[in-house]
Structure 1
Amino acid sequence: MTQSTINLLDIVALTVDLPEYNLYRGQVGTVVELLAGGAAFEVEFSDACGGLRRSNGRTYESVGLRPEQIMVLHFEPASPDSVPEMVTA
């Protein structure tokens, strides 16, 4: 799987199901904290009112995740010169 560097406030999607948190593959959240020097990330999941605009949405879950559990979403075309970073589990 390819993965770009994950940064604070990146919009990410789950790549795995986390039924213990009622979260499933494809759900979208925002990175709100870098943990363990960037080895893990606190991701906040908000309802549609917050959405990608980060307005007055209600947070329904906030959970620490490993890089292989999320992927960064991109809203602009990738540069032809960019080289994806490989992540291994």
Structure 2
Amino acid sequence: MNSQFKMLDIVALIEDLPEHNLFRGQVGTIVEILAPDVYEVEFCDDEGQMYAMQALRADQLMVLHYHLLKAA
């Protein structure tokens, strides 16, 4: 889906992973690049406490943008 992810990108899950108690829309941070298109993502609560860390493929994630993007 997107091989342009980089360290510390804020991402959201685009599929449910009930076996890991993670669900579509949950937001995390890429903390490690494990392999091409595989990333370690850390999920934290509102107080900064980590509640999950999971290796995820690029096709399971979308990067979130917090600034205006120019049209292509």
* TM-score, normalised with respect to structure 2: 0.92
Superposition CA RMSD, Å: 1.4
Structure 1 moving runs of 4+ over 4 Å: none
SS in 2 for 1:68: helix
> Structure 1 unaligned runs (5+)?
50-56, 82-89
Which protein is richer in strand relative to its size?
A: 2
| Count of residue pairs the alignment pairs up | 72
Structure number with larger C-alpha Rg: 1
| 1:5-84 pair list within 5 angstroms | 5-36=4-35, 38-49=36-47, 57-81=48-72
Whether the 8 Å CA contact 2:3–2:37 is kept in 1: the answer is: no
> Structure 2 unaligned runs (5+)?
none
Identity %: 51
Which protein is richer in helix relative to its size?
A: 1
* TM-score, normalised with respect to structure 1: 0.75
Q: What is the distance in 2 between the residues matched to 1:3 and 1:65? A: 12
Whether the 8 Å CA contact 2:3–2:58 is kept in 1: the answer is: no
